[in-house]
Amino acid sequence: MLERGASLRSIQVFLGHACPKTTALYTRMTEEVAHNSQLLLNDIVDSLDIHWQEHTHD
């Protein structure tokens, strides 16, 4: 389900786990999930509009 894009939270609800730690016990990071997560994180960072300003101290 993770490889198909389901969030860990939705898997937790689907499986009926009260604690996310229980769900985490049954998951593992596959190469595909790691790659997709990296792409998602890169997309998020690329979409940020950050303007850095230098502050001068008087």
What is the domain partition of the chain in residue ranges? 1-31
Q: How confident is the model at residue 25 (pLDDT cuts 50, 70, 90)?
A: confident
Residue of 14 and 53 predicted with greater confidence: 14
Quick check: 11 and 1 in contact, CB under 8 A?
yes
31 token code pair: 């190469």
Average pLDDT of the segment spanning 33-47: 86
Q: What is the DSSP string of the chain?
A: -TTTT--HHHHHHHHT-SSHHHHHHT----HHHHHHHHHHHHHHHHH------PPPP-
Q: How confident is the model at residue 13 (pLDDT cuts 50, 70, 90)?
A: very high
CA distance 37 to 31: 10
**pTM given for the model:** 0.50
How far is CA 29 from its chain centroid?
12
